[in-house]
A and B are shown apart, each in its own frame.
Chain A
Amino acid sequence: MDTSIILQMVVSGAFMGLVYALIAYGFQLTFATSKSINFGQGELVMLSAFFSLTLLNLGLPYWLMVPGGLLFGAALGLVVERAGVRLALEQKSEGWILLTIILGLLGFSAAENIWGRDDRPFPTPISADALHVFGINITPLEISVAIGVFLVMGAVELFKRKTLMGKAFEAVSADRDAAELMGISATRTIMLSYGLSGMVAAMAGILISPITTVGPTMASALILKAFAVAVVAGLDSGFGVVLIGIFLGALESLTSFYLGSGWREAPGLVLLILALAVRPNGVFGKSTMRKV
């Protein structure tokens, strides 16, 4: 067996895994403030990718399309918060689970009707011609995925640590009632987290689409894996999702190489089951102690 092939598989898979990590990171953002996540996040990725593609087709240059796509994603995140999550949280119900799934299904139908069912290529100015590094092929496109993922996550982490608004974000996740007593509006902070989460999801769509193409079905494939990464890594470790994302991406690519591409989805699901059985708080998750 050729080790360079294995290495090649691991590296290419790892880049895909970073995108799962980015989507999982979006889950963490909203979970932190509201203990809720958008189960339609995959559709949000897909819709933002389609919207960005439309911007490109309208003649907008790639680098202007990116902020446009991100804004669209943030706006969709706000819609999910207003139309789904807030309604449920106001009644202290878990209805957000069903509501966000329904909003996702609506988004799926909308995409099929507006953009059709076919997968479409997503043009990019970044080259897909391989560079040879230590005997493996890496494309600038793959490198751009890594740069994009770390830029977005880095920016959000900087925001959380260096700005007062970001600290308020952390305060709401630590103790919502106490944050309200400081004059911090939990509702607005949750809105902000959904906006950021939508933006992060849109970035994932823009980064991955040139590699995978854009189509309505990309949503379900992405969400399951992002979900697996989030559960395995825990819903509070940004560092964890990156590691687990890379691990899952690599594992997936090895599985589809050795067992056939039909088994591609298997590692994510197996990991998910294992994680739920063995460490429900995630490998990197703090074990939460409930104080009385």
Chain B
Amino acid sequence: MLIVDNLHAGYGNSEVLMGASLQVKQGSVVALIGANGAGKTTTMRAISGMIRPTRGAVMLDGQPVQGHGAARIARLGLAHSPEGRKVFGPLSVEDNLLLGAFNHLPRFFGFRAKAEIELERVYELFPRLRERKGQAAGTLSGGEQQMLAIGRALMAKPKVILLDEPSMGLAPVIVQEVFNTIRRLKEAGITLLLVEQFAKSALEVADYAYVMEHGNIAVEGTPAELNQNQRVLAAYLG
């Protein structure tokens, strides 16, 4: 579904990504783990078009998308829930969700009715969002904002979701809740690329995982294989 081949990217003159390659098969959850500054978020940003890769290819559903702008890649079926959640603070929870479905909805009137089924699905997954649908997104707690960011990505009915550090800055109880949500998305057959600091929890939900070091993939394998790997164990799972 998503194939990343020899991806190079960076900011200004400093190259952060140096030839990362990975694959996400349809219906699978793939985890991308590694230390701070290894290039995980940069990988996500280069895939979704937030920054332009300088070299390499990104194939979404067999179609090359590298070099396109973020808006165009989003229209082609990739939803990137970015690091730090980035909900639209002044807008209501429901408006945030509706904007998630921007590509499928009429631009002017009648969009609310058209989005009914998707909205219902997201509200069922996150009943808390239904309770707060009229509230400004900026007033939600961190955990609720994370639910909103995931819900907003689901609204797009994407082929692939990139989920960057969903547990960042959340209390342990809430982190557990986030991972339960990811498990439910997986059961629903959603294709997911997950970047996480909590490598252990990430490996528990993932079908396959990549370990990043210094802008490159250092190790890859199934969670069972990584759990056997002494180096990975020592560095990330200890």
B-binding residues in A (CB < 8 A)? 162-165, 167-168, 170-171, 174-175, 177-186
Contacts and interface: CB of A to CB of B under 8 A. Distances in A.
Contacts of A182: 71, 74, 99-100, 102-103, 152, 156
B111 A164 contact: yes
B159 interface: no
B111 A178 contact: no
A181 B107 contact: no
B92 to A, nearest CB: 9
Given A165-B108, A170-B88, A184 B82 contact: no
Nearest to A166: B108
A89 to B, nearest CB: 14
B216 interface: no
A184 B48 CA distance: 13
A180 B69 contact: yes
A181 B51 CA distance: 12
A163 B80 CA distance: 24
Contacts of A165: 107-108
Nearest to A186: B71
Contacts of A167: 91, 95, 98-99
Interface in B153-182: 156
B205 interface: no
A274 B71 CA distance: 42
Given A170-B90, A171-B99, A178-B86, A184 B71 contact: yes
A165 B111 CA distance: 10
A97 to B, nearest CB: 24
A164 B115 CA distance: 11
Given A163-B107, A181-B80, 5 more contacts: A164-B107, A168-B102, A175-B89, A178-B88, A184-B99
28 contacts: A163-B111, A164-B99, A164-B108, A164-B111, A170-B88, A170-B90, A170-B91, A170-B95, A171-B91, A175-B88, A177-B70, A177-B82, A179-B99, A180-B70, A181-B50, A181-B74, A181-B79, A181-B82, A182-B71, A182-B99, A182-B100, A182-B102, A182-B152, A183-B74, A183-B103, A183-B156, A184-B71, A185-B71
Given A171-B91, A175-B88, A180 B74 contact: yes
Interface string B75-95: 100011110001111110001
Contacts of A168: 99, 102
- Secondary structure at chain A's binding surface: helix, strand, loop or mixed? helix
A177 B99 contact: no
B189 interface: no
A52 B176 CA distance: 64
Interface string B100-121: 1011011111010000000000
B48 to A, nearest CB: 6
Nearest to A172: B88
A181 B70 contact: yes
A290 to B, nearest CB: 13
Nearest to B48: A181
A180 B90 contact: no
A175 B152 CA distance: 14
A186 B70 CA distance: 10
A178 B80 CA distance: 9
Nearest to B77: A183
Contacts of B81: 181
Contacts of A170: 88, 90-91, 95
A164 B102 contact: yes
Contacts of B79: 181
A179 B82 CA distance: 11
A36 to B, nearest CB: 19
Given A164-B98, A167-B99, A168-B102, A180 B71 contact: yes
Contacts of B80: 181
A209 B9 CA distance: 54
B106 A164 contact: yes
Contacts of B103: 182-183
Contact of A178 (B49, B82, B95, B98): B82
A194 to B, nearest CB: 18
B91 A174 contact: yes
Residue of B79, B88, B109 most packed against chain A (CB within 10 A): B88
